[in-house]
Amino acid sequence: MKTLKQLERLRKAHKLIQQENTGTPEEFANRLNISRRQLYNMIEYFKELDAPLLYNRKTNTFYYSYDFDLLVNVSVQVLVKDELITIYAGSTLLKEKFSTQILC
């Protein structure tokens, strides 16, 4: 769950930066419910992704110096017992058949 929360936070940060509506670093960190240090770690991560991230002291906001998009997609699928049996039965049967062929 921690990873999902981090990805959601990353997506929210990107949206605020795109809108040039982050506020000061303290305000930005508060909006994301993280510490200022964590915010700067996130900013470093954006820069590792080659995001053209800058800060405007006049308007007190982070912004991208040119168009930059970050797609964060998360997919969670819950499988019930019967579905798991269907998925794993094929690999189990394949292994058993393969082992039998080697032994013969």
Over residues 8-19, the pLDDT tens digits come to 898 899 999 999
Identify whether 91 is part of a domain. Answer: no
What's the DSSP call for residue 67? -
Q: How far apart are CA 16 and CA 28, in angstroms?
A: 9
Q: What is the tally of structural domains in the chain?
A: 1
Residues 4-28 have a mean pLDDT of 92
Identify whether 84 is part of a domain. Answer: no
CATH of residue 28: 1.10.10.10
Domain hosting residue 53, numbered range:
2-64
Question: Per DSSP, which regions of 30-82 are E strands?
Answer: 53-56, 61-64
- Which amino acid is it at 10? L
* Residue matched to tokens 């579905």: 83
Over residues 37-94, the pLDDT tens digits come to 999 999 999 999 889 999 999 999 999 998 888 887 766 677 666 655 555 544 544 4
Residues 30-43 have a mean pLDDT of 95
Identify whether 23 is part of a domain. Answer: yes
| CA distances (Å), origin 42, targets 20, 47, 54, 65, 69 | 17, 9, 13, 18, 16
Residues 26-36 have a mean pLDDT of 95
Q: How far apart are CA 3 and CA 42, in angstroms?
A: 14
pLDDT band of residue 100 (cuts 50, 70, 90) is very low
